[in-house]
Amino acid sequence: MPALRDDNGIRSALDIARMVRDGTATPSAITAECLARIDATQATLNAYVTVCHAEAMRDAKALNAAATSQPLLGVPVSVKDNIETVGVRTTFGSKTRAANMPATEGVAVKRLRAAGAVMVGKTTLPEFASSLLGESPLTGSTRNPWNLALSPGGSSSGAAAAVAAGLGPIALTTDAGASTRLPAALCGVLGIKPSMGLIPYELFPDGFGNFIHMGLMTRTVGDMAAALDVVSGADASDPLSIGVAPTRALAKLAEPLALGKSRIAWRPLLGNAALDDEVRALCERTLEVFKDRGATVDTVIEPFEGAGPTWRVLQQVNWAGRFAVPDEATAAMMDPGFVAGIRAGAAISGNELNAAIYKRTSYFRMVQTWFQSFDWLATPVTTVSSVAADAKGDAPLTINGQPVGELRAVLAPYLNVFNLTGHPAISVPAGFTKAGVPVGIQLVGRLYADTDLLRMAKLIEDIQPWASRIPAAAPH
């Protein structure tokens, strides 16, 4: 029997590890099957920049004889191609880094390997993770496995497509402003941006002013908990992680979460003026899961100054500082939108930067006050359910038949504020539209309430499961 599929769909990471431990599958057989599934879909989905055929089989064979109880023994995982990996190129989705071979490896990657996972490849992203869409000058367009005419979203484009299509049950990602949660929603999988510092992100040059989070994508809550347990916890190289303990989320999932008198703030608008009717209906149907368990769900409609302008200043200054303004020959190889962002960042004054830093603190304090009145926050992930694979960031977006602004500004206004504040946020599948594409709901918790956030997601999974539904583009 194939290791990655059964009659009920794509196997979870927990099932795979269990099969390896009880001897019904071997890491090398599982890895070979996963690599074959990737190869079968590269021409259509284009989820991977680099497929690690030789390296993955070498690592899997070394695990065949390992009599261990490693939590992810033999589980295929993917790593987003802006996370450094020793022995495997890290391109950042850019022609300027196409042959980049790092000398160091991300802490989270090391932890996955130590847990017995097998890295099968590096997943696609827009150049330097700079877009909400799934195209880069280096790799071209990555497609959504639910409908190849649609974008998987970005910037963790390949990760979302891979997890949805069964090309590895766990994906290590990053999230600077939407990059894990948005594609997770568009591809119908789970995507978590943990509390700041919970997963060390030592690869960012500014360890103290960082707003970029390591993230994870999986198909099931159990897999998410198992992966988070492995990669979380302090590392001496990341100052924001110091003192942060690893989670014990998988064990806690077995304990039912009593919502009791919990209050949930449902904010269908968060600095935006429009939301697709079908997206709203699916999210509000999902919130009934919590109402049925005694929680109060209050719809909150109140003014909110969107965090986009503040986030944009911080991100563009980051780009300018890390990459410098390219010369004309180099710029011709790069995404024009990213080059424009670098140039904009180089023109931002010190006063403008300081104003954005101070504004970031005000957003943090504002969100903290929300949690004085409510236990949880819920929002949509996106304002619409899908965007075309060839869409451009500056293209107009239409919601409920009305133009509302540029796609990059209005597609996902609910997300980047929580990068600035550091609060944990997860995209959870909320169902499918009449057109058969997935929709996500975002749940946000208090700082370091990540485990209970997963328990909230588990309540949804138990009532309206999604993992057995397989995209048409997945290998069958």
Residue 241 annotated as catalytic: no
DSSP state of 326: P
Indicate the helix (H) or strand (E) that contains 366.
Answer: helix 350-373
Determine if the peptide bond prior to 78 is cis (ω within 30°): no
Contact present, 180 and 224 (Cβ < 8 Å): no
Catalytic choice (131, 179, 386, 427):
179
Task: Spell out a b/e string for 340-353, using b for 16 or more CB atoms within 10 Å of the CB, else e.
Answer: ebbebbeebeeeee
Q: What are phi and psi of 6, to 5 degrees?
A: -135, -175
Distance CA(321)–CA(111), nearest Å, equals: 29
Per DSSP, the residues of 110-152 read HHHHHTT-EEEEEE--SGGG--SSSEETTTEE--BTTBTTB--
The residue assigned the tokens 């109140």 is 302
Distance CA(361)–CA(342), nearest Å, equals: 24
CA-wise closest residue to 162 among 122, 193, 132, 130: 122
Distance CA(75)–CA(119), nearest Å, equals: 8
Instruction: Kindly tell me the sign of the dihedral angle through the C-alpha atoms of 381, 384, 389, 391.
Output: negative
Catalytic choice (78, 80, 151, 193):
80
The residue assigned the tokens 């919502």 is 259
Contact present, 456 and 376 (Cβ < 8 Å): yes
CA-wise closest residue to 271 among 402, 446, 445, 404: 404
207: its two tokens: 């360890």
Distance CA(260)–CA(305), nearest Å, equals: 32
The SS3 of residue 281 is helix
The residue assigned the tokens 């619409």 is 384
Distance CA(448)–CA(435), nearest Å, equals: 37
Hey, which residues does 281 pair with through a beta bridge? none
466: its two tokens: 């999604």
CA-wise closest residue to 93 among 145, 49, 40: 49
Distance of CA 325 to the CA centre of its chain: 28
Residue 458 annotated as catalytic: no
Question: So which residues are the catalytic ones?
Answer: 80, 155, 179
